[in-house]
């Protein structure tokens, strides 16, 4: 290749930017490549705080920024502020995790009821994709897919794209509230927290619990939870905090693990 159309610095957060990329002159090096025509568009994918994002876009010139954006994190992780910072600066946005690792495709019963009551046409995943694609300044929406059906659904969503109407925006708000009230743990199973030094299978444990929140099937929960080997169980956690430092969704992992362990002990 003679040049990259889009070159992004991967997974920037406050620590990587402040202690690695910035002091070692990564931007200056890459901007030189851009001037030489070896990079056409220079950007970064971001997982840090809004204050770090603000500083990065004030101090340097970027052609795009990739952020995690979906209707749940819009409030839960204040992605709305990240979006506004980039939008106000006129920087095109690439969206990652529009369906929140699949969580917004598997809604809780109350949210599904809301969709039915509103006679909503289309899948929950397509509603999530349409939310981000309706936002001004969004250039690209990245969607992970794992089946032909999901691919077809995504193609349908974008082939005849319709931005969300005001009514649908209100519906999204209600679904977000239902999700927040459901008690689901907002884990996207990204596995950044793995491996845990004590072997705790954090995403698997959260997934078993979330499945219970969705279907309220306590027998299934017991079967799945007690199938976890002792060396991977939540009881192994020593609260070292390593996982919480790295979790891109700021989940209180140690607290959730101990809550789930307690919940399981009640249903042994």
198/222 with CB nearer ligand SF4: 198
Distance CA 198, CA 201 (A): 9
Does 254 contact ligand SF4 by CB under 6 A? yes
Kindly report whether the peptide bond that precedes residue 115 is cis, defined as omega within 30 degrees of 0. no
73/168 with CB nearer ligand SF4: 73
Q: What are phi and psi of 128, to 5 degrees?
A: -65, -40
Residue pointed to by tokens 């369906």? 99
130/256 with CB nearer ligand SF4: 256
Exactly one of 238, 252, 255, 262 binds ligand SF4 (CB under 6 A); that residue is: 238
DSSP-derived 3-state class of residue 230: helix
Angle between helices 253-266 and 218-225 (to 10 degrees): 110
Give the binding-site size for ligand SF4 (rule: CB under 6 A): 26
Does 103 contact ligand SF4 by CB under 6 A? no
Q: What are phi and psi of 60, to 5 degrees?
A: -130, 160
104/171 with CB nearer ligand SF4: 104
Restricted to residues 183-202, the positions that interact with ligand SF4 (CB under 6 A) are: 187-193, 196-198, 200, 202
Provide the minimum distance between the beta carbon of 163 and ligand SF4 in the complex, in angstroms, as a whole number: 29
Residue pointed to by tokens 């095109």? 92
Does 133 contact ligand SF4 by CB under 6 A? no
Provide the minimum distance between the beta carbon of 72 and ligand SF4 in the complex, in angstroms, as a whole number: 12
Count helices and strands in the chain by DSSP H and E runs: 13, 5
DSSP-derived 3-state class of residue 216: coil
Applying CB under 6 A, the residues found at the interface with ligand SF4 are 187-193, 196-198, 200, 202-203, 206, 237-243, 247, 249, 251, 253-254
């Amino acid at each position: 290749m003679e040049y990259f159309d889009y070159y992004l610095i991967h997974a920037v957060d406050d620590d990587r930017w402040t202690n690695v990329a910035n002091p070692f002159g990564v931007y200056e090096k890459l901007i030189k490549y851009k001037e030489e025509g070896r990079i056409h568009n220079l950007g970064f994918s971001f997982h840090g705080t809004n204050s770090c994002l603000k500083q990065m876009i004030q101090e340097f010139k970027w052609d795009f920024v990739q952020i995690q954006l979906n209707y749940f994190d819009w409030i839960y992780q204040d992605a709305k502020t990240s979006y506004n910072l980039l939008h106000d600066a006129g920087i095109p946005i690439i969206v990652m995790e529009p369906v929140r690792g699949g969580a917004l495709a598997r809604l809780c019963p109350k949210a599904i009821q809301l969709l039915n009551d509103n006679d909503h046409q289309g899948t929950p995943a397509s509603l999530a994709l349409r939310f981000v694609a309706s936002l001004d300044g969004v250039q690209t929406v990245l969607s992970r897919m794992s089946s032909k059906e999901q691919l077809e659904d995504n193609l349908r969503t974008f082939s005849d794209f319709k931005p969300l109407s005001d009514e649908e925006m209100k519906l999204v708000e209600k679904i977000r509230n239902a999700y927040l009230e459901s008690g689901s743990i907002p884990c996207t199973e990204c596995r950044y927290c793995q491996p845990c030094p004590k072997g705790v299978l954090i995403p698997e444990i959260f997934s078993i619990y979330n499945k219970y929140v969705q279907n309220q099937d306590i027998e299934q929960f017991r079967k799945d939870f007690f199938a976890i080997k002792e060396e991977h169980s939540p009881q192994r956690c020593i609260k070292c905090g390593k996982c919480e430092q790295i979790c891109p969704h700021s989940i209180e992992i140690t607290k959730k693990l101990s809550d789930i362990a307690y919940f399981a002990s009640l249903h042994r």
